[in-house]
Structures are given as C-alpha cells and as structure tokens.
Amino acid sequence: MDYDVIYIGSGNAAWQGGRFLRKAGLKILIVEESLYGGACANRGCNSKALLDAPYEIKALADNFEGVGKSGNFEVNWSDLMKFKQKRIAGMSLFLDGKFDEYDLDVAHGKGVIVDEHTVQVGDKKFTTEKIVICTGLKPVIPDIKGSEYLHDSTDFLDIADLPKHTIIIGAGFVGMEFASILAEAGLEADVIIRGNMALKYFHQPYVQNVIHILEDKGIRFHFNQQVKEIIANVDIDNPEDKVQNAVQGLNANEDLRDPDAKDDNKAYENGFTVNCESGLSITGDYVIAAIGREANVEDIGLENVGLTYTRQGIKVNGHLQTEVPNIYASGDVADTGIAKLVTVAIHQSKYLAKELLGEADEITYPVVPAVAYTIPRIATVGIPAYIAEKSDEYEVHRIRYGRSYSLELKNDLTAEAKVIVDKDLQIVGAEIYAADAENVANMFAFIINKRITLEELDYMIYAFPSSSSVCLYKLHNIHYDL
C-alpha cells in the first residue's frame, strides 16, 4: 500500500488527527481539490469573524448613546474587505507549511474513491489501508426558477460593496448573522423564512429579542413563506434592455441571464424580484440563499464502494466508521446526530486518530456550546431551557446580570442567562443572551463538563469586573436561596 490513511479533504476534520497518526509512524496523504484548510479557514468561520468584529464594536459603542458617546463609529466595508482578503489569502499557504512541518503528504485535485483501498487524484491512483472522508458541507441552493441569481455565504463574505437592499432566504446561522451585519451597516434587508421561527435550535425568547433589535434597525421578517421564483428585473425604457429583450424574445418579467454565466448581480441595476407562493413579492439588489448546508459528496466515488448518503451526510457508527469497514467519515460530512461545528470536527478528528491506532472505544462527546453570532450573541450549552421547562427533573433560573452589573458590562443592560439545574442543584445547561455570550457559554461548558457544584463555584474568587464573574456572582443566588 502507498499509504496507511488517505484523507479526502484538508479541513480540521482531517489534519488535526492526521498529524498524530504521522507522529505515530503512519504514512498519511491529504487530498484537497481547493484551498488547504477547507471552508472554515478560507470561506467561513475566519472570514465571518473578521468582517463581523467592527460591527460588534459599533454596537457596543452604541450602548453609550447619550451617556458619553460622541460622534459615530463608521465601518468602511471596502477597506475591511481588503483586510479580510489579505488575511484569508495566507491561510491556505500557512496550512500548506504546517502540513510540511507535520510531514503530511498532499495531493492537489479531486479525490475519487475507486475501490475500498484506492483513491484517484487526476491521473494518479494511490492505494491505502484506510480512507477518511472529510469533504464537509456545501450551501443548499433551492431548485426554483431563477436559482442562478442566488448567492451563497461564500459570495457574501467576499463581496466588494454591501448591497443597499438584500433579500435573505433563510434564518439560520448564516441568514441571521448576515442580517445583523446589514443592520449595523444601516442597510435594508428582508428575511424570508419558510417556517414560523428563526434560529430554531436556540432559546426562542432570546431569538425574539434579536429579531426586535433587527426590526428596529430596518430588517423585515416574513415568516411562513415559500419562495417560488426569482426574477432579474429589466427597465423597458432602457435602450440596452429593449434590445436584449427583443433579441431573446422575452417579456419584461422574464430573466435575461445566461444560466451558465457567473457574475455578480451588479449587471442588473434594476435588481431582483423574489416571488413567494403566498403572493408576497419583494424587490432588492442582492439575493442570498441561506437555507442550510448539505453533504459535499458529489462525484467522489461513493457509488463505487456502495456507500449512500443523505443531506445530513454519510451515516457512521460510534467509531465514525461507514458501512465499508475500512472507510470512515469525519467532521460535517459525517451523519452523527451531533451539531456540525468546527469544534466538533476537531474533536472527531482527534478521536479518529486514536481509533485508527487501536487506542479508543466508541466516541463520546462533552456538552457542545453553540453560538449564533448575531448582534448581540445568543448561545446555548447543555440541556436546553425548552426541555427543562417541561420537566419536573429540572429548574430554570433567570439571571439578569446585565441589569445588575451594567457598569461592569460596558452598559450592556440586557445581558442575561437562563441556567438549568437538576434536583441535585447541579448545573446541566444554560441559555445566554449577551454581547459576549460565546465566552459565558464556554464558562458554562467547563462547569457542566467538570460537574462543578454551586458550592464550589461559590467558594472561588474571580477576576472582577468581567462578564463571567458578574454572571457567576448572580449564580451564587441559586446556592444561597435554596
């Protein structure tokens, strides 16, 4: 065999574990058809963090409106985008260097599984004992008329200028986080949601808080709407549009775009109209599909080894093993029932290294914090409040630490958490709504995973002021009052 393990994909689901296998003496090949590091490094997490940060700062500054703020904090998107592109451009090169440092072989091209022990890249075939599929997810583009006009998250995170009026289809992580950026930028947006809630995996009272903030800043929400079609608008009084219309024999309500063409929406100065089944019709400058992500496994040869998949990914067992014993799946492409987050992908990759070395039992997971990076943030960790509120096994305690410690929290009056405890007063879950909810969520993840008791928390001394300390000091009330 040429290799002990071949990873198809080069994101965190692959190299985080691959480096340990190489250190243990196994020969490793990483196959990548695009940029080293995958979506998070090049087209997702890192880009979003860089572009979101100035708008987060702007929102924090706005907390001091009328109590010390002078002037306005303005974000120059064009300059910010140039900075983002410069920083992100180096990620793939950086990881290429790390792969070399870890002595991991790489092959650039599409990896196709030929049989259980062979992966083809271009005109080369590599044999291996084990194959690990780490191809992640890709944005879902709905099968509707005018779908060629849709942009996805990758497009938006690389756009030169923010549209004056954006139409967002979907209200999950991507839709709501982009809506927050557009709101802070003072721009218009319409969010179209197929169901009756946004961010359905998060605490809905906190989601509603975010929606109200976004609505106050010019974002409109349309629930229970099914998009039917997207039309590129033309100006029948514009000579160029008239000529093109006549040549193609289309009326003014039909699109004029070559389905095979790939450009931005600037070519259509009259914008786009999104029509819904209900009769709702919205016109804007830019349309984003944010209805979720699906397994990125097209044309990688799964059929050659009898593997099937669903939108959620390739089914694996407790060892991340597919139905083909020597083929595994790790990260977002693996259908495990666990949240598809980069932190989970890293956890799975490290586990799989031990599994392939014969040093692991079935995979286990600690509690996994999840954060919607809206402005403000929403986070959830452990047993959610909606389950606890319906059960006699738990109690939910609301802690409005922003109201009590606004001076220490940069005038963030609304910061709060709902803490779930069991009958033994052990903290088992938390919902957080705050400017830095992600940091508070990490604190609760540590508390829950290590089963730190309320009495032990009460004994500790914390750095003050800080968001974690003021939340914990309010948490002490649960201990004192019971």
pLDDT, block means (10 residues), the chain with 482 residues: 97 97 98 94 94 96 92 95 95 94 97 98 98 97 97 97 97 98 98 97 98 98 98 71 42 42 52 98 98 96 97 97 98 97 97 97 98 98 97 95 88 95 95 96 97 92 92 79 50
> CATH assignment of 147-289?
3.50.50.60
Please give the pLDDT value at position 474: 87
Q: What share of the chain is helix, strand, coil (3-state, %, to 5)?
A: 35, 25, 40
Please give the pLDDT value at position 237: 56
Please give the pLDDT value at position 178: 98
Q: Which helix (H) or strand (E) holds 59?
A: helix 45-62
Q: Residue 43 is which amino acid? A: R
* Residue 464 to residues 404, 430, 432, 468, Cα–Cα distance (Å): 14, 22, 20, 9
Alpha-helix runs per DSSP H in 63-197: 77-101, 153-156, 173-184
Instruction: Provide the whole-model pTM.
Output: 0.91
Side-by-side strand order, sheet with 394-399: 370-372, 377-382, 427-434, 416-422, 394-399
Q: Any residues with CB less than 8 A from the CB of 475 and at least 6 apart, and which? A: 399, 419, 454, 457
Please give the pLDDT value at position 241: 53
Q: Which helix (H) or strand (E) holds 416?
A: strand 416-422
For the segment(s) 3-138+293-356, the CATH number from 3.30.70.2860, 3.30.70.100, 3.50.50.60, 3.40.50.300 is 3.50.50.60
Q: Any residues with CB less than 8 A from the CB of 1 and at least 6 apart, and which? A: 117, 127, 128, 129
CB 39 within 8 A of CB 47: no
Q: Residue 204 is which amino acid? A: Q
* Residue 357 to residues 2, 18, 448, Cα–Cα distance (Å): 18, 11, 30
Fold topology of 376-481:
Enolase-like; domain 1 (3.30.390)
C-alpha–C-alpha distance, residues 10 and 39, integer Å: 9
Q: Where in the chain is the domain with CATH 3.30.390.30?
A: 376-481
Q: Any residues with CB less than 8 A from the CB of 131 and at least 6 apart, and which? A: 5, 6, 8, 113, 116, 117, 119, 326, 327, 328
Collapse the DSSP code of 456 into the 3-class scheme (helix H, G, I; strand E, B; otherwise coil) and give the result. helix
Q: Any residues with CB less than 8 A from the CB of 327 and at least 6 apart, and which? A: 113, 116, 130, 131, 132, 133, 305, 307, 321
C-alpha–C-alpha distance, residues 427 and 447, integer Å: 7
Q: Where in the chain is the domain with CATH 3.50.50.60?
A: 3-138+293-356, 147-289
Please give the pLDDT value at position 246: 40
C-alpha–C-alpha distance, residues 445 and 381, integer Å: 6
Q: Which residue, 38, 101, 113, is CA-closest to 331?
A: 38
